[in-house]
Amino acid sequence: MPIIVNLDVMLAKRKMTLSQLSEQVDVTIANLSILKTNKAKAVRFTTLEAICKSLDCQPGDILEYTSEEGSCGTR
């Protein structure tokens, strides 16, 4: 999938756990985990907004586009 979710990177930068984020944005740990492991097929803008607000970042800090060509999926 050409969209990479860098949620784990932002969590590490903010020294926050997935459970702390879950409490702040009112999204289950399971759903955040799906997003974090790049298994999500979609994300609601309201969820993205809440994550960005909680992590004090921009959507581009969390979402990254890569072309599928030459992508090994090792990210």
How is residue 73 annotated by DSSP? S
pLDDT tens per residue, range 31-45: 999 999 999 999 999
pTM of the model: 0.84
At 68 the pLDDT is: 74
Of the pLDDT bands very low, low, confident and very high (cuts 50, 70, 90), residue 1 is low
